Structures are given as C-alpha cells and as structure tokens.
Structure 1
Amino acid sequence: MIDIHTHILPGIDDGAADWEASLALARAAAAEGITTIVATPHHASSSWRNPASVVRPLVDELQTRLDAERIPLRILPGQEIRVHGDLLDAWERGELLTLGDSSYILVEMPFTEIPAGMADLLHELRVMGLRPIIPHPERSAPIMKQPQRLAELVEAGAYSQVTAASLLGGFGKRCQESAWTLCRQGLVHLVSSDAHHAERRGFRMREAYDEIEGVLGSSWKQYMLRNAEAVTADQAFGEAPALALSHDNIWDKITRIFRK
C-alpha cells in the first residue's frame, strides 16, 4: 500500500512530535503493509509554515534513520498546502512541493468554507500541468451539507481523497456518513491515512480498504490502490469502475457499518 497523506515528519506541525514519534509511525505503517509514505506537513495554514526548504532535509534525514533501523519504508516529500491568496506566487518561488515530486499536489481547503475562487484556482493549477487533490472533503462543512459542491470541484479539475478513519467512524457518525456519501456518488479517487500519531491517530488503511471492498466491490478497492500508485509514479488515474450495486443497496451496506 501507498499512503499519500501523512504527518510523519518530526516537530513541524501537529503530527509526530519528535524523531521517536516519527519512527513509531513508520513502524506502524510497515506493520500494516504500507511500503511508501508521502510526508505532507501542513503548509501556509494559520499555525504552520513548512516550505520545501524545510521539508526536503527532514525527509532525507528520516529515510536515513529508517534505513539504519531497517524499517522497510520509503519516504517521499510533499506538503498539505492550505489554499491562500499567495499560492500561485509561492509555487513560482519554489516554496511548494508536489507529492513525491510528481504532478499531483495536495491542496487543503478550510473545514468551514470553500474559498471564493476555488474553481478558478483548480483551473490555473491544471493549466500549469499540476493535478490538484483535495484532502478530506468529507470533513468540509459545505460539502457535508451539499455533496454536489465537491462534484463541482471535481468537474473543475480536482481529485479527492478521503481519510481512512473517516470511513471507519473515527471522526464521528456524521463525518462517516459524509465520507460514504461521497464514495457512493463516485466522487472519491483516493484513500489515505492523514496519520498524525501511531496510537491516537494512526493509519487504519487496511481496514478502510476492506470496507471499501465490502461496500463498493473489489474493483473500487483496486481502483483506489492503483491511483495511489499512480500518484507516486506520476501517471494518470485509470477510469473509475461502475458502481456494481444500486445506490440503495450500497447504502444498506453502509448502514450496517454504522451499526458496528
């Protein structure tokens, strides 16, 4: 498995606090069968600034420590970039990172709103040859209320990534329902962990993929697995499979997850 969204780098955001915590996350990832992780610390949010010049040396140092500890995990550079007015200029200044030096870029919206001009920004990024991915749309208040808002952003050129824990109820039933609603509407392209801590907020990737297979079918599980591989290989996503069940039947399966 490949995880494109993690907070494994030490001491620079609300993820791993130090090298010990980073290594604990790495061991947990390897134990779950994850082979490649993209480190995506928060950047340009109100609390954290982690430009490329900060992230790359830490990725190199973490890989060195993993190799020394014989932890079979590959670490790639990235960022979770908050949408801000200076984003396009920051790209020109070399402050921003794509995921694993691919054309895919993780662009985070505030949880409370969809920024004005978001569709225009997505269009500009695509014109620049970048492929924007919106993380955890299931936790966006406007999208929770109106899933069609995500469909509009996908139409404007974005991909979307839900968090494994959201599918499993880790952020509450409302967020879980939102995540599965987006999945059953075919608006989700990737699943990732958004892992911050080995125990309190870990990976749960295998569980999430198992639930996706159980609800949407093995073709959707393989589609999302292949899309994660495509990110790190800098390849285009494949065509989404058809939903094998009617929306009502899918929702019956989802409600059984809620009762667990």
Structure 2
Amino acid sequence: MADQRVAVVTGASRGIGRAIATTLAAAGQAVVVGYAGNDVAAKAVVEEITAAGGRAVAVRADVATESEVSAMFDTAVDTFGGVDVVVNSAGRLALSPIADLDLDVLDELHRTNIRGSFVVAREAARRVRTGGAIVMLSTSVVGLQLPNYGAYAASKGAVEAMTLILARELRGRDVTVNTVAPGPTATDLFLDGKDEATIARLAAQPPLERLGAPADIARVVAFLAGPGGRWVNGQTLRANGGIV
C-alpha cells in the first residue's frame, strides 16, 4: 500500500482527536494514534480502526517534548513509509479569571498548547511529503472572548497566529496549513462537571441549537486533509454552528 496516505494525529485517544483518527482511517489513511498517557484508550482506538480494515499504531508522546515527537514521526515513517497529514489535537484546558490564575497552571497550559503546537508544527514542516496537509486545533473562544478563558484563549490565539505564517513558509512544497477552531463540543471532557441547565444554555447558543459532536469537527479536519481541501490554505475555520 505504497500509495496510502499516512496521518499523525496527536491527542487521539479520546474526544475530538479520537474522532479525527477514526474518520481519517475510514477515508483510507493509515493513522499514527498519538497520545499522552492513556494506554488503554489509545489501544482501543487502534483496535477500532483495525477491526474496520484500517491500519493504525499507537505512539505515546508528550507533544512538548522534542525527542518524543520526533520518535512519533519516526514510527510513522518506519511503519507506514512516510507522513502526509499531521493533525495536532492535543491540548490542555484551565479555567480561571485572569486576576486569580495560578502562574504554574499558566505555564503548564502554555507548555502543551503553545510549545506543543510549535514542536508538532515544526516536525510536520520538516517531514510532511508533497501534497500533504497540516491541521492545528484552536477554539472558537478566541473569537467569543468568554470570561475565565483568558489563558486558554491566549494559548490558542498563538496557534492561530502560526497558521498563515507556516503556510507561507512552506511555499513551493504543495503542503497546506490550516487551523480548525471548534465551538462547544459534546466530549466527555467538555461535559464533565456541567449541570443540565448549563449544557442546555450552551447548546442553545448557535443558530443550529445543539452542541457540536466530535464527528462534526472530524469531518471538517478530514476535508482539509483530503483532496477537496487543497485550495484552502493559511485559514482558521470556526466550526461552531454559527456562534458569534
């Protein structure tokens, strides 16, 4: 299967990242399931993909650690022959008013969301083959500017700032670089700790009057990573059902 496209997806053991990994696999791509620490969940993603006839391997890597990210890409090359698509779905969330934010929490958040995004993007820029795609994950909170999201929005704003710059730096490579910024999405992480009234209020925000599903975001990423998205480059796509 020398002509099969190969995707590296970080944060792929659960939530949106898992949906992206399985969606890309269903579209015919071999997938490296990158994950931070949940071995059981990552193994389950690989088993789901292989049971459906796809090819996948799980690799544990901290996205902010250069050597681990490099090793993850090495696995993609050694196992599947190269890298065509990179999706950085790994991220960390911490909520606090700016005035009360623990700076140690800020440092941890930015280590994953900014440094991690940069490390993955840098490795992707070095490794992705001609005709490939790099997709980063941001958040629609960057535009909504909600209280308590200051640190998180700042970190994802940095990701969006990288997008067009990296696209321009890859001129002549035929590699696209885009960012997807989801709105409220019904993952276990998002729903945890929220009562029904809060969930209902958030679901009522978009004109479509529902929360996003991980599959909604995964399909957008798959479009950008596939043949239909080749003329979309250097963009941040807000996949949020119309929240403004």
TM range, normalised to the smaller chain? 0.3 to 0.5
TM-score, normalised relative to structure 2: 0.42
TM-score, normalised relative to structure 1: 0.40
